[in-house]
Structure 1
Amino acid sequence: MKLKDTNTESSILDAAESIFQRKGMDGARMQEIADEAGINKAMLHYYYKSKQLLFGAVFKKAFGLLAPQLNAVLNDDSSIEIKIRNFANSYISFISKHPYLPSFIIMELNKNPDFILKLKENSSFPNLVKFKNQVKKEVANGILKPINGEQLFINIISLCIFPFVATPLLKAFVDINDSEFKVLMNARKTEIADFIIDAIKTS
């Protein structure tokens, strides 16, 4: 049996991510991905038998890069305020380069609720224990207004994710083009942090 070459597989994943970013999951074609990777379609199918499997592999690779970043932010020794700023910056910076990730997660969860169990198998999947305990401590010390750690995290990640899930709708509402949207998202790194911090800090 022919062994798969890691360099070829890496080229396929890079090519697929490029096509998925430009055309989305539905608009991408396996032939386009093969052309981008510099291989024939038969070779592409040898590595990935379907576009869905390929998309899943691209997602897994990207999530494997994002998860450690977010987990490191949540579990370092900085204050909650700094954590919020770093989380928003890290998440939006990464998703701006991989905008298909949030939609893919939602799509997969709708089709397969157990999908999240596969994500949690990643050793770097974000752990909220320290974050929640720290929120309790800062509330008790009068640094933060009374707030639940889980609710705070949901607020942070929701404000970060939604614009990327609803990009076409938001661009229509605000009446901006792609480049203007990128500028808006870049500014959002601090806008989100300032908004949340102003809402939860006691002074």
Structure 2
Amino acid sequence: MSKTKDSKTEHIILEAAKRVFQNKGMDGARMQEIADEANINKAMLHYYYRSKQLLFEAVFSTAFALLAPQLNAILNDDSSVEEKIRNFTSNYISFISKHPYLPTFIIQELNRNPNFVLKMKEKKGFPNIEKFKKQIALEIQNGILKPIKGEQLFINIMALNIFPFVASPLIKAFVNIDDKAFKQLVEDRKTEVADFIINSIKA
């Protein structure tokens, strides 16, 4: 076996692992199944990733590394709170629509390993809401927004954007829609969520 890891092979492994983790979850996934999905043998898989945990973290980190800098940039740019809410919501929903496994990944891993997020927090580009909180306080002071704590507003934004992806089977059953209609419902939420939040906090 070559001692040089090939980036193409690694990409194939990560894509295969992503599909298996999405279908089976962290606990239900098996390394042999991931190797089969990637069309390689298990020894090759272990050469690239010694354990399922390391593979999971690589899959998660690859996706999170694409999303986190975008969200961090929005939270810390010079736009108004209203523009931030609209941009955050639109970007998040667009990204998660392409990576629908990610919210479930996060929740599963936090339940299984609460310290996992501490590793992610140390990574460059992890979202920082301090500027966002100060901006909210200033817009409240200037009579633009109703009084609300920055942390609570951030949680509201995250919750309204994340929940439909985490609970998609439940939502489809409740509102009696198929996958195609659900995709449109999620797309509509780019404006629905932003409007709902903004209308609730405007002075």
**Fold-level match, TM-score > 0.5?**
yes
Gaps of 5+ in 1: none
Query: Once the 2 structures are TM-superposed, how far is the Cα of residue 31 of structure 1 from its aligned partner?
Result: 4.5
Residues 185 and 107 (structure 1), Cα distance of their counterparts in 2 relative to 1, 3 Å cut: same
Q: Which moved more, 1:39-48 or 1:128-137?
A: 39-48
Deviations 1:82-114, CA, capped at 9 Å, x for gaps: 000000011111111111111111111112221
- Distance in 2 separating the partners of 1:39 and 1:132: 48
Asked if residue 157 in structure 1 is aligned to residue 158 in structure 2, the reply is yes
Cross-structure match for 1:136: 137
Deviations 1:14-71, CA, capped at 9 Å, x for gaps: 23224444x2426655455434434333212221234443222111110011100000
Residues 27 and 4 (structure 1), Cα distance of their counterparts in 2 relative to 1, 3 Å cut: same
Q: Which moved more, 1:24-33 or 1:189-198?
A: 24-33
Query: Once the 2 structures are TM-superposed, how far is the Cα of residue 8 of structure 1 from its aligned partner?
Result: 1.7
Q: SS of the counterpart of 1:133? A: helix
What amino acid maps onto 2:189 in structure 1? R
- Distance in 2 separating the partners of 1:125 and 1:51: 24
- Distance in 1 separating the partners of 2:136 and 2:92: 20
Cross-structure match for 1:124: 125
Q: Which moved more, 1:79-88 or 1:10-19?
A: 10-19
How many positions carry a matched residue from both structures? 201
TM-score by length of 2: 0.90
Deviations 1:114-169, CA, capped at 9 Å, x for gaps: 11110101110001111000001111111111111111101000101111111111
- Identity rate, percent: 70
Cross-structure match for 1:189: 190
- Distance in 2 separating the partners of 1:180 and 1:52: 35
What amino acid maps onto 2:188 in structure 1? A
Gaps of 5+ in 2: none
What amino acid maps onto 2:179 in structure 1? D
Query: Once the 2 structures are TM-superposed, how far is the Cα of residue 192 of structure 1 from its aligned partner?
Result: 0.4
Are 1:24 and 1:100, in contact at CA under 8 Å, matched by a contact in 2?
A: no
Cross-structure match for 2:55: 54
- Distance in 1 separating the partners of 2:6 and 2:126: 28
- Distance in 1 separating the partners of 2:7 and 2:152: 42
What amino acid maps onto 1:64 in structure 2? A
Are 1:19 and 1:32, in contact at CA under 8 Å, matched by a contact in 2?
A: yes
Cross-structure match for 1:200: 201
Cross-structure match for 1:90: 91
- Distance in 2 separating the partners of 1:33 and 1:109: 22
Q: Which moved more, 1:121-130 or 1:39-48?
A: 39-48
